[in-house]
């Protein structure tokens, strides 16, 4: 049986946040390109190249959060949330391309240093852009974590990386301004490239993990703890717990062992109660699927059911449910 479960979607919040990111990103890109044109600095140009990625990624992320908010349909029965993971991977790939472009631009500067100008103005423009990016990045991460949007969180982290890049570029260009060593400009640009290359690789790896439905330990622990708190004597065993995420929606399924002498109607009532409990305490939209198993004599030592008509052995103790036991494929039995 399926039911609403877990994190509620906030498509309007997503769209507004990503639209803000795209508009601010385009504005800051213009500022950095102006700084690069005024100074002729490869390091500042490298920062501007990364900002181009910010804008393109924000536009694609905006499309992804709009699409992920669409309800399931006949061709996408589990919804459209996976596009957010793809968006984050796409952003990571663009960042890697930007890093390669920066290296292509910066390396010739080691052999033929270019003349630089108006470095003080360029530094002020870059630092100003960094301050705006910092505020926007923190905002996107907070919204992304609150609404469980992978695309928003990834875009926010990328913006914070851009802040570190801008600070590094400012330091490098500042050293050129103080020392007159123009080669430091190329060194700073290469350092930027290596930094964002690491960030891009990390984003791609995270995207692949989400697309491959890698288990999230925190989510599994929350589910198990929620069920443990509500556990009734007739909820004999919990096993084969699985959870995967599609955008901001979670899908959960597990096996629940009930007394084998119960009829179908009573089992269905318990199933509904369990799902309602999860909805109440984990809140929002999504789905959960329960598979009901009948108990066996092996469960008797851990079963708290009183006056059981089919008990084969005395009750000994009821082990607490844990992530390790709940995610196992086999029901838990006490050793005899």
Asked, colleague to colleague, whether 11-211 and 217-326 share their fold, the answer is no
Fold of 11-211: Alpha-lytic protease prodomain-like (1.20.1510)
| Residue 314 neighbours by CB under 8 Å, 6+ apart | 300, 301
Helices (H), 40-118: 42-68, 82-106, 108-111
Determine the 3-state secondary structure of 177 from DSSP: helix
C-alpha–C-alpha distance, residues 310 and 308, integer Å: 6
* pLDDT over threshold 80, residue 288: yes
Q: What percent of the chain has pLDDT over 90?
A: 26
Q: Encoding tokens for residue 320?
A: 């607490």
CA nearest neighbour of 48 among 113, 110, 106, 87: 106
Please tell me the distance from the alpha carbon of residue 195 to that of residue 191, in angstroms, as a whole number: 6
Residue found by looking up tokens 């039911």 in the block: 3
- State the alpha helices, DSSP H only, in the chain: 11-39, 42-68, 82-106, 108-111, 119-147, 150-179, 183-211, 217-230, 264-282, 323-326
Please state the domain extents for the chain: 11-211, 217-326
| Chain CA centroid to CA 290, Å | 26
d(CA 15, CA 208): 24
Instruction: Please report the pLDDT score of residue 248 as a whole number.
Output: 61
Taking only the tens place, the pLDDT of each residue in 47-83 is 888 788 778 877 887 787 778 777 778 888 777 778 8
Does residue 195 have a pLDDT over 80? yes
Band of residue 164 on the pLDDT scale cut at 50, 70, 90: confident
The topology (CATH level 3) of 217-326 is Alpha-Beta Plaits (3.30.70)
């Amino acid at each position: 049986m399926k039911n609403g479960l877990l994190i509620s979607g906030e498509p309007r919040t997503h769209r507004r946040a990503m639209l803000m990111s795209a508009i601010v990103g385009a504005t800051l890109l213009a500022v950095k390109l102006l700084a690069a044109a005024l100074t002729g600095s490869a390091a500042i140009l490298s920062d501007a190249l990364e900002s181009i990625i910010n804008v393109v990624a924000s536009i694609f992320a905006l499309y992804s959060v709009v699409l992920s908010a669409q309800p399931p349909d006949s061709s996408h029965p589990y919804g459209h949330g996976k596009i957010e993971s793809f968006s984050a991977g796409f952003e990571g790939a663009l960042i890697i391309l930007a890093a390669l472009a920066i290296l292509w631009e910066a390396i010739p500067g080691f052999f033929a240093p270019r003349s630089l100008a108006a470095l003080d103005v360029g530094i002020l423009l870059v630092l100003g852009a960094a301050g705006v990016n910092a505020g926007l990045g923190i905002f996107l991460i907070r919204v992304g974590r609150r609404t469980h949007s992978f695309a928003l969180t990834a875009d926010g982290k990328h913006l914070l990386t851009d802040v570190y890049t801008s600070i590094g570029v400012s330091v490098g260009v500042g050293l050129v301004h103080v020392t007159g060593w123009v080669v430091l400009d190329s060194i700073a640009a290469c350092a930027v490239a290596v930094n964002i290359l690491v960030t891009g690789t990390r984003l791609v790896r995270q995207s692949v993990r989400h697309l491959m439905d890698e288990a999230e330990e925190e989510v599994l622990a929350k589910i198990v703890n929620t069920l443990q708190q509500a556990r009734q004597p007739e909820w004999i065993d919990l096993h084969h717990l699985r959870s995967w995420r599609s955008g901001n929606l979670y899908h959960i399924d597990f096996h629940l062992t009930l007394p084998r002498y119960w009829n179908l109607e009573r089992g269905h009532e318990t199933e509904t109660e369990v799902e309602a409990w999860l909805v109440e305490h984990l809140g929002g939209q999504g789905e959960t699927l329960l598979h009901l198993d009948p108990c066996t004599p092996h469960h008797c030592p851990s079963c708290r059911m009183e006056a059981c008509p089919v008990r084969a052995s005395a009750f000994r103790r009821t082990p607490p449910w844990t992530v390790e036991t709940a995610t196992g494929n086999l029901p838990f039995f006490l050793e005899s």
